Amino acid sequence: MAEPAVYAPGIGALADEGSTILLGYHGSPAARRAIDVLATLVPAAHVVVACVVEDVFIQAASHLLIGDRPDQWRLHTDAAWASSVAEEGATHASRRGLDATPIWLDVRMSRAEALARLAEERAVALIVVGRRIDRAFLGRLRRDVAAELVRISAKPVMIVGRDGSVA
């Protein structure tokens, strides 16, 4: 796999040796790309790979489906799914040289709120998420986790775009 071409000054300083980085992961290509970019910027970092089970009552139909093709769609309200996705993300991160720990959260709040709270509890140096721009009908219903995280988190947030760019 070719290394992503990324320039992100100061990211390495946010994740000094011994610091933990929280990576929001839900199994999409954008989430895997975030791992790849992070591995390039901060090799051998300790990463907590978190998958959040969203409450169907909070999100209604907006987050029930994930994936770019119908055969990839899965329910977000299933703890077994979240556990396996977190493990998948941690495995991918480990293959890229990161020290990864999977975790899944079953909470009655949005993904962004859950990740922001976990970041505070774990005293992480940085939160990393991938951004998926979805202009289809279901995409318009979904909350923008990255934008909400930037707004509510006390921790710095790195957003990895579809092309591997960093914001």
CATH of the domain at 50: 3.40.50.620
Helices (H), 18-162: 29-41, 56-59, 79-95, 111-122, 137-141, 145-152
pLDDT, tens only, 47-99? 999 998 765 433 334 344 444 444 444 445 577 778 888 999 999 999 999 99
Number of CB atoms found within 10 A of residue 5's CB: 10
- In-domain check, residue 6: no
What percent of the chain has a predicted confidence (pLDDT) above 90?
35
Rounded to two decimals, what is the model's pTM? 0.77
Residue 140 has pLDDT above 90, yes or no: no
CA distance 41 to 167: 13
> Is residue 43, in this structure, part of any structural domain at all?
yes
**Is residue 150 domain-resident?**
yes
Band of pLDDT at residue 21, cut at 50, 70 and 90: very high
Which range marks the domain in which residue 106 is found? 11-160
Q: What is the mean pLDDT of residues 138-161?
A: 79
Determine the pLDDT at residue 81. 79
Angle between helices 111-122 and 145-152 (to 10 degrees): 40
Number of structural domains the chain divides into: 1
